[in-house]
Structure 1
Amino acid sequence: MNWRTTITALVFVPCLVAGAAAAEVAPNDVAFGDDGVSVSLTGVQGDVEAGAAAFKDRGLGNCLACHANKDMSKDLFHGNVGPSLDGVAERYDEAMLREIVINAKQVFTSETVMPGFYSLDVGKDVVKAREGQTILSAQQVEDVVAYLGTLK
């Protein structure tokens, strides 16, 4: 092996590994199990601050529209359609939180009003510009799950 082969291997192999770790699970490829979705959608740890931002962003999660949350007590428009999310990390582990955020209908019933945030099965009358899109990206799901994990 010469020096060029060695340098190429040192540069190329880590790129392959990094690319494999960053592979994203597509919405239709999510593996739902009895214990939730245990595999990260991105292979990247969720960011708590980004998750909190998506949680309260009306154009993304908009979770406050339905769920009260003491952590965000200064934010407006806490809803009461869904349960309070205070202590949610004690009620559900990470895999179940991920499954609920991806598609709550997999955990509860098809009658739940909570949308599937990483699902293409969104029902009828979808705004044309949003057809074939998820509400949250795979990383945003991981971020929201990381944030929910702080609510003990």
Structure 2
Amino acid sequence: MKFTIKSGLASALVLLASTAFAASVVAPGDVAIEDGAVSKSLTGAPGDAAEGRKTFADRKLGNCLACHAVTDQSEQLFHGEVGPPLDGVGDRWSEAELRAILVNSKAIFSEDTIMPGFYTLDVGVDVREDLVGKTILTAEQVEDVVAYLITLKE
């Protein structure tokens, strides 16, 4: 690969931008849940509702449909009935409250809730060794799902 000043500068700018983004992401242990809400974005930027919709349905990511039904995703098979239906959730909860629920539902509802915390390292015992110290979703994915959930109005 031929190195030029132009390509070197472009690489440096990409690295700088990705480093700046990573520096603005709130670490899981630093998320402050106050009065049932996380008022500030985990990334410092708004989420992408279209990406959040994909994460919500992805059985290897959010897997939200395993427990929740939502009419907006009627094309998806096998909606769950363990959690409440999420139609109108954008009317029932604020953005900050939805963010807190996604980050650590046990801190919002109770330790007995079956819903996992998607951006916490406090995940209980017997965690698979390769998953220790990892969150289920990234901060960006949480923000995307929050952006999607806010669109679910009645």
Q: TM-score range by the shorter chain?
A: 0.7 to 0.9
CA distance in 1, matches of 2:72, 2:100: 22
3-state DSSP of counterpart to 1:123: coil
Q: Give the TM-score, by structure 2 length.
A: 0.85
User: What amino acid is the match of 1:122?
Assistant: V
Q: Give the TM-score, by structure 1 length.
A: 0.86
CA distance in 1, matches of 2:42, 2:99: 9
1:103-129 Cα shifts (integer Å, max 9, x gaps): 111110110000000000011111111
CA distance in 2, matches of 1:92, 1:126: 30
Contact kept in structure 2, 1:37 and 1:98, CA below 8 Å = yes
CA distance in 2, matches of 1:20, 1:142: 14
Please list every run of 5 or more consecutive structure 2 residues that lacks an aligned counterpart in the other structure. 1-15
Alpha-carbon offset, residue 19 of structure 1: 2.7
User: What amino acid is the match of 1:99?
Assistant: A
CA distance in 2, matches of 1:45, 1:116: 20
CA distance in 2, matches of 1:104, 1:49: 23
In the other structure, the counterpart of 1:37 is 38
The answer to whether residue 79 in structure 2 is matched with residue 88 in structure 1 is no
Task: Give the greater-gyration-radius structure (CA).
Answer: 1
In the other structure, the counterpart of 2:11 is none
1:14-56 Cα shifts (integer Å, max 9, x gaps): x79x937961100000011105000000001100111011101
1:60-80 Cα shifts (integer Å, max 9, x gaps): 100000000000011011000
| Aligned counterparts, 1:3-152, within 5 A | 19=20, 23-152=24-153
CA distance in 1, matches of 2:104, 2:36: 14
Aligned residues: 138
Q: Percent identity?
A: 59
CA distance in 2, matches of 1:119, 1:32: 11
3-state DSSP of counterpart to 2:65: helix
CA distance in 2, matches of 1:52, 1:135: 16
